[in-house]
Amino acid sequence: MHISHRLIMDKENFSKHIELKNIEINDPFWSRIISLVRTEVIPYQYEAFHDRIEGAEKSYCVSNFKKAAKAAEAIREGKKLPIYPVDKWYYNEENSDENAFHGWVFQDSDFYKWIEAVGFSLSNHPDNELKKKAEEIIELICNAQLENGYINTYYTINNPSKAFTNIRDFHELYCFGHLVEGAVAYFNATGDRKLLDAACRYADLICETFGGDNGKKRAYPGHEITEMALVKLYDLTGEKKYLDEAKFFIDERGKKPCYFDVERNQETGEGDHTYEQAHLPVREQREAVGHAVRAVYLYSGMADIAKNYNDDELYSSCIGLWNNIENQKLYITGGIGATADGEAFSFDYDLPNDLAYAETCASIGLVFFARRMAEINPDSRFHNVAERALYNTILSGMAEDGKSFFYSNLLEVNPEACKKDSRKRYISPVRQKWFGCACCPPNLARIISSLGEYCFAQNDETVFINQYVGAKVKSENADFEIVSSYAVNGRVNIFINPQKPIKLALRIPEWCDGFEISNAYEIKDGYAYINIAEKSEIALDFKPKAKLIKCSNRVRANVGKAALSKGPFVYCIEEVDNGKNLQMLRVNPKGSFTEDGDIILADGFREKEDEKLYSEYQKADETPCKIKFIPYYRWANRGENEMTVYVRI
């Protein structure tokens, strides 16, 4: 399989994703999931931020915005406001005055992520009732906007004079970023400018407040996203200052003295800011470190800036960071972030299965990063990784009924350990209904609702098919239809009708050992390029087969083990199918694999349980057995039980 290590940008071949409004997905695998998000997740979230879900932690989102609207009105009227503390990350009824802000400091983002998901969903699936709900939420948001454009319920309710005084921890710029992304998506879907105008007003305030000019704060987001959000706002409005502001945030990060120390009056500016990727100027960063979600959001913003400014130096940081993730820090499931401590990347090759973090949101962010990298440099490696994340960790984040979610996506779970071992208490052996810190479910909603953006890209000469999701698509130079059973059997038919002679670039999946393409093609950087001069039909067969995958022996947790994969899917075994003590199973690498739908039966052995804790070694007493594998994303849908991705060989 081809792996390129192109270290500079392929400027002639920059591409851009095709907008959602031009994509109509109809896919035997994905349509059900997209529809679940529309019918289950989006309505559920709406109930959740109204605090109407019994047994779930409260969001307080609606009540915060209502309080902030009152405060905003009082400010306009010049009334004196009560002041509440702004020193805690989290407030609930017990530790806060009932009139003060409640929930997490970043709670506002729930609204914005929901609006974004709604926008994506409305792009292809008009729904007046949902639109009405969105308008109601947008009204709540706009009512909370101050005259200077500021929107943040935490500070507006508790103490507006403290705005922008804790940039490192208190997520104002993060919430702003999600507001912008929500506003852009909603405008793109509906043409309704109301939220977009509010976001632009706030963006103008951000540009006035933060920057390199005298009197501005030389700060940058504690939790990144702002950077890529500002680029989206620039893309939509053409307002160059938004792009420049994003570049400022990128360039300023990690300079000494570190702003995060300066704002705490720690003048040396020598604190450890690895967690926020502010340990080094970004152009010097080559190792993916710190909070994994923040990291990939930052790297996505860096890629945006590199592309927009033709900045090869910045790109070389991006590719260095990408290489580090792909080659040293990526779980086979597309998960990233190997440690719960700081929800962070661990060191190279430290990829424990039973102590993974692998946050759903981090894999979503990795897909953001992948798409941007592929749009700079059309090499299959980027969407190969995106595919790994999409079909495994990201899908695993949601239950098959769309009603419960994983925050962490472990590769090995023993429910007894999650209960009895404090090191594993962060691990939920079954999906939860909702989270107080509800970042993952809305993030899932927005990526699944916008899946098309990660599938298809274009430039003047080429249409790129990055993910084989069935859809009808209008690109600038061609209409095409993908009829795909890729997830089931690796077969895809493409019907394309170009307006001029173009190239069709088809990603050859990393897992594919031999493929058939009905037309003449040329391979470059992992894509098959086909010249399309007229209306054509292309048949693809990637021939997925069940095969064992070895993880590098640099990864201590996986020596002597293998994982099973087929096509884009990584498989796992569960106790419900294979009995307790999954570690006693061993797969026979010379055995056969029998497939039944998406289930794979492998030949293997089960060791007889040892009677003594220690005994002289002798060849294990094994009984041949069939080991039943299911796709990883489907695990934990049949109750609490043991699971493992890696099985001994």
| Shortest spacing between CB 559 and a second copy, in angstroms | 5
Nearer to a second copy, 80 or 619 (CB): 619
Asked if 339 interacts with a second copy (CB under 8 A), we say yes
Listed residue (569, 565, 592, 546) closest to 646, CA to CA: 565
| Shortest spacing between CB 556 and a second copy, in angstroms | 5
| Shortest spacing between CB 7 and a second copy, in angstroms | 19
Cα-Cα-Cα-Cα dihedral sign, residues 169, 405, 26, 544? positive
| Shortest spacing between CB 245 and a second copy, in angstroms | 35
Q: Which of 179, 295, 332, 504 binds a second copy (CB under 8 A)?
A: 332
Determine contact, residues 408/357, Cβ cutoff 8 Å. Answer: yes
Asked if 618 interacts with a second copy (CB under 8 A), we say yes
Asked if 583 interacts with a second copy (CB under 8 A), we say yes
Distance separating alpha carbons of residues 341 and 325, to the nearest angstrom: 18
Site for a second copy in 455-514 (CB under 8 A): 513
Residue with tokens 């790109």: 315
Asked if 272 interacts with a second copy (CB under 8 A), we say no
| Shortest spacing between CB 92 and a second copy, in angstroms | 23
Site for a second copy in 418-447 (CB under 8 A): 420-423
Q: Which of 347, 497, 501, 522 binds a second copy (CB under 8 A)?
A: 347
Nearer to a second copy, 330 or 572 (CB): 330
Nearer to a second copy, 474 or 545 (CB): 545
> What is the DSSP pairing of strand 599-607 with strand 516-517?
unpaired
The H-or-E segment that residue 448 falls in is: helix 440-449
Nearer to a second copy, 132 or 580 (CB): 580
* Alpha carbon distance, N-terminus to C-terminus of the chain: 24
Q: Which of 128, 214, 265, 615 binds a second copy (CB under 8 A)?
A: 615
CA atoms within 13 A on the CB side of 560: 6
Listed residue (53, 59, 170, 193) closest to 114, CA to CA: 59
Contacts of 334 (CB under 8 A, 6+ apart): 363, 366, 385, 386, 387, 388, 389, 390, 391, 392, 393, 394
DSSP assignment of 459-492 equals -SSEEEE-S---EEEE-SSEEEEEEEEHHHHSEE
Q: Find the angle CA(476)-CA(482)-CA(485) to the nearest 5 degrees.
A: 160
Q: Which of 560, 594, 624, 639 binds a second copy (CB under 8 A)?
A: 560
CA distances (Å), origin 203, targets 163, 218, 636: 15, 16, 42
Distance separating alpha carbons of residues 396 and 294, to the nearest angstrom: 21
Residue 648 token pair? 């001994």
Asked if 327 interacts with a second copy (CB under 8 A), we say yes
Asked if 647 interacts with a second copy (CB under 8 A), we say no
Binding segment for a second copy (CB under 8 A), chosen from 159-167, 191-199, 477-485, 549-557, is 549-557
Task: Tell me which amino acid residue 506 is.
Answer: L
Residue 489 token pair? 């059997």
Distance separating alpha carbons of residues 503 and 459, to the nearest angstrom: 10
The H-or-E segment that residue 25 falls in is: strand 23-25
Q: Find the angle CA(464)-CA(237)-CA(8) to the nearest 5 degrees.
A: 40
| Shortest spacing between CB 549 and a second copy, in angstroms | 5
Asked if 543 interacts with a second copy (CB under 8 A), we say no
Q: Which of 146, 180, 492, 548 binds a second copy (CB under 8 A)?
A: 548
Q: Which of 64, 152, 346, 477 binds a second copy (CB under 8 A)?
A: 346
Asked if 146 interacts with a second copy (CB under 8 A), we say no
Site for a second copy in 387-416 (CB under 8 A): 414, 416
- What burial class does residue 509 get, using C-beta atoms within 10 Å of its C-beta: 0-12 exposed, 13-18 middle, 19+ buried? buried
Q: Which of 80, 514, 596, 619 binds a second copy (CB under 8 A)?
A: 619
Asked if 625 interacts with a second copy (CB under 8 A), we say no
Nearer to a second copy, 265 or 422 (CB): 422
Task: Tell me which amino acid residue 636 is.
Answer: A
Residues 54-93: x/- map of binding to a second copy (CB under 8 A)? Answer: ----------------------------------------
Binding segment for a second copy (CB under 8 A), chosen from 206-214, 437-445, 560-568, 628-636, is 560-568
| Shortest spacing between CB 345 and a second copy, in angstroms | 10
Asked if 330 interacts with a second copy (CB under 8 A), we say yes
Nearer to a second copy, 89 or 347 (CB): 347
- Cβ–Cβ contacts within 10 Å for residue 608, how many? 10
| Shortest spacing between CB 287 and a second copy, in angstroms | 11
Residue 499 token pair? 């307006």
Listed residue (314, 328, 326) closest to 282, CA to CA: 314
How many residues line the site for a second copy (CB under 8 A)?
Answer: 55
Asked if 553 interacts with a second copy (CB under 8 A), we say yes
Contact residues for a second copy, defined by CB under 8 A:
326-328, 330, 332, 339, 341-342, 346-347, 350, 354-355, 414, 416-417, 420-423, 513, 547-556, 559-562, 581, 583-584, 586, 589, 607, 609-620, 648-649
